[in-house]
Amino acid sequence: MLCFGSGAKSQFPNISPNIGGTILGVSVHARKRARGRIAYEVTWRDQAGRQRCETFGTRREAETREREIRDLRERGRYDKIDAGTESLQEATERWWTDHVDVQVTSNTARVYATCLDRHLMPRLGTMPIRDIEPAHVIELQRSLRQDGVGAAMAQKVLVVLSGIMRHSQLLGRIERNPVHPVRIPQPRRKRAIRPLAPETIEGMRAFAVERGRLRQAALLSVMGYAGLRPGEAFALT
């Protein structure tokens, strides 16, 4: 959990966070929560001098994060300290602007929107992307099956999630794509594909040529031998 402006008064109000090569203000504190539970906070000051903190369930996690922050600050990589703290929804908006708006057809974009609005955002939308693990992806698969989502749509949901996480990885926001190690089953076709025999295609082409329909004859060749779907074939120029 990331929290801003905790209100804690600094014991070094007039001291720079980096003096003589020594990193100050990064520390771990144990806090008692409800029902006696202990949580551990890592606190530090950012470049603007604002108090920052992150909360962890174990001291080991907190101390690992503390060392990471110290290392990043020593190397001047302040931008990496918050990497991955954005929610999946925020990462999705960035992916949509960079990828979907410029590279995807309107029909495909509508399919993506359905995957996001109906299935992905309600389940993982508020989760920080750096906290999403392969186990969460497996749980997502299970949840989709339990809710009766078809195999084809479930596969699309996971492909969309993988695309979002890969985009975040390329931008340096996360170290790895949590979807990558998870097996995504390919949906089985309900109907077998029965391609036309070459003799049938040639007969159809000859019929079109005899009537001077050369464009239709060429289209039949492309669809019959290259396997293009009607929408793909008609989009050719």
Give the pLDDT mean for 137-159. 95
Looking at the predicted structure, is the pLDDT value of residue 136 above 70?
yes
| Residue 87, strand partner residues | 128
Looking at the predicted structure, is the pLDDT value of residue 21 above 80?
no
8: pLDDT confidence band, cut at 50, 70 and 90?
very low
Looking at the predicted structure, is the pLDDT value of residue 94 above 90?
yes
- Between 31 and 236, name the one with better pLDDT: 31
Dihedral angle over CA of 179, 1, 62, 17, nearest 10: 120
Q: How far apart are CA 92 and CA 109, in angstroms?
A: 13
User: Pick from 63, 81, 99: which residue ends a domain?
Assistant: 81
Domain extent for 38: 2-81
Tell me: do 73 and 145 sit in the same domain.
Answer: no
At residue 25, the pLDDT reads: 67
Give the pLDDT mean for 39-56. 83
Of 220, 91, 214, nearest in space to 160 by CA? 91
- 138's CB contacts (< 8 A; 6+ apart) are 182
Counting the structural domains of the chain, the total is 3
> Mean pLDDT in the chain?
83
Looking at the predicted structure, is the pLDDT value of residue 80 above 80?
no
At residue 11, the pLDDT reads: 35
Give the pLDDT mean for 16-29. 52
| C-alpha 53 chain-centroid distance | 25
Tell me: do 6 and 66 sit in the same domain.
Answer: yes
Tell me: do 105 and 132 sit in the same domain.
Answer: yes
